[in-house]
Chains A and B, each alone.
Chain A
Amino acid sequence: MSKAGWIRLVVLAAFFGAVEALCRTGVISPKLVIAPTAMVEAMVKLLGSGELNPDIRQTLSSVGIAMGLSVTGGFALGCVLYWLPPLRRTVDPFLAAYYSLPHFAFYPLLIVIFGLGALPLIVLATLFAMVAMIMATLSGLDRIPRVLIKTARMQRLSLPAEIWHIRLPAAAPHLFSGLKLAVTYSFIGVIAGEFILSTSGLGHQIAYAYDNFDNRTMYGLILLVLCIATAFNLLVFAYERRLARQRGQ
């Protein structure tokens, strides 16, 4: 590991150690934050007891579906916009402002259309995450060096071959950034939805624990969600790193 890596490890360990010590000695009240080890313990216990398994399953499957839909849909729409510059110019201001729009205001509408349950959450999360993928796809396609496209034409590739063998690999780094954002945004969409209006799912359980001053459960669940999201991100990141190292970036 590099020098910076070691220092980072020490800094993080010191940080969590300090929080741990402050919590254990009661300087930080357990009403605010519980000790990191206690969080881990709570998470393990929650997982072991199995009582939250339906919620975990519901949230994860919602996130998974939203992620799949937003990545494929966002990629497809990104390609469409790339091939249709007038359309792209038209929706550009909308895309740029998209993430400051108050998405959750459209919740009631979604519920009327899709009913209660997981479906409106999935739709919401998909819509939320898709635009990140659209923008990543666009910037990936925009940045393909022209000389590579010329090379494709020189090699007399068909359009599908050109897309598969040249455009996609050339745009891959950007597509991966889009994928990572889509993961995060799918989580935000689903969890935020569960916070406000669901009666099940991890988001709801976190809110429920908060309302009942049950900090152990709350922190255990928060840690669980963060761990799952981080694990997925690390997976993508590791693959991305391998690509980047090959390409010397």
Chain B
Amino acid sequence: MTAVRTLRGPLLLTLTLLVAWQVLHQWAGDTALTAPLPTLEHLWEMIGQKRFLPHLSETGLAFLQALVIAWAGGVGIGVLLGGHRLTGEVAEPILVGLYSLPKITLYPVILLLFGLGMSAKVAFGALHGIIPVALFTMNAVRNVNRTYLRAGRAMRLSPAQTGWHVLIPATLPEIFTGLRIGFSLTLLGTMLGELFASQRGLGFLLMTAIDLNDVQTILAIAVLISLFAVAANSILLAIDKRLHRGAAA
């Protein structure tokens, strides 16, 4: 019963989008927008092809590396800045400034520094994701209620125990929100990185399709990435909400 209720929204949305897609297709014609069903068939066919796999794994690998760097680096930086007040105060405006830069402009610089290929994509993805993770972690660590720490000391906890039983549960919900946002932005950065100047990956396929005006392939890839993004996000959001419920109680 509850499963039906929680799934009703997303199902309704998917249905609405499919209908809108079909209607738009009728209106704009095949050259602009292929119909949903043939597109999905095409996607299925593409996934089955042997030459598709290297592209998929290239993108997946780039994204995974970028994500690891963004998450681990962001949490590391955040803990450092949150734990040491002055360093945090010095760095925060710089981070916020970097966060609100249109980083897309820096892409040519990344290409010059990292060369064409995997490392530029990873760098660009990580560049997008690392700052929000760092900012959220910093705030989480900074805002740990001092009373918890005093209570920990009153209970004679060792530093390790304090870390495990007090600091991690107290900071995890906020940090996780940062990780979730970092996930989305890393994906965005990696995809942007693949769109410009790359010779492999889904982004490359997408650009080739755009050049060839192969609408069906464009849409198929867009659907594939969107499905992944929405699915991953829903899971992360569900975990996020659960963690925050625990934090509020």
Chain A positions within 8 Å of B, measured between CB atoms, are 2-4, 7-8, 11-12, 31-33, 89-94, 96-97, 99-102, 104-109, 112-113, 180-181, 183-184, 187-188, 191-192, 195-197, 203, 206-207, 209-210, 215, 218-219, 222, 225-226, 229-230, 233
Contacts and interface: CB of A to CB of B under 8 A. Distances in A.
B9 A93 contact: yes
B112 A113 contact: no
A96 B105 contact: no
30 contacts: A3-B86, A4-B89, A4-B90, A8-B91, A8-B93, A32-B112, A89-B9, A90-B12, A91-B13, A97-B234, A100-B232, A101-B222, A107-B210, A108-B210, A108-B218, A109-B32, A112-B33, A184-B100, A184-B102, A188-B104, A191-B104, A191-B105, A195-B104, A207-B196, A219-B109, A225-B105, A229-B101, A229-B102, A230-B97, A233-B100
A119 to B, nearest CB: 15
Given A90-B13, A196-B195, A97 B233 contact: yes
Interface stretch (B71-79, B155-163, B186-194): B186-194
B interface, by DSSP: helix, strand, loop or mixed? helix
B225 A105 contact: yes
Contacts of B188: 99-100
A interface, by DSSP: helix, strand, loop or mixed? helix
Contacts of A92: 9
B28 A113 contact: yes
Given A2-B89, A32-B113, A97 B101 contact: no
Interface of B: 9-10, 12-13, 16, 28, 31-33, 86, 89-91, 93-94, 97, 100-109, 111-113, 183-185, 187-188, 191-192, 195-196, 206-207, 210, 213, 215, 218-219, 221-222, 225-226, 229-230, 232-234, 237
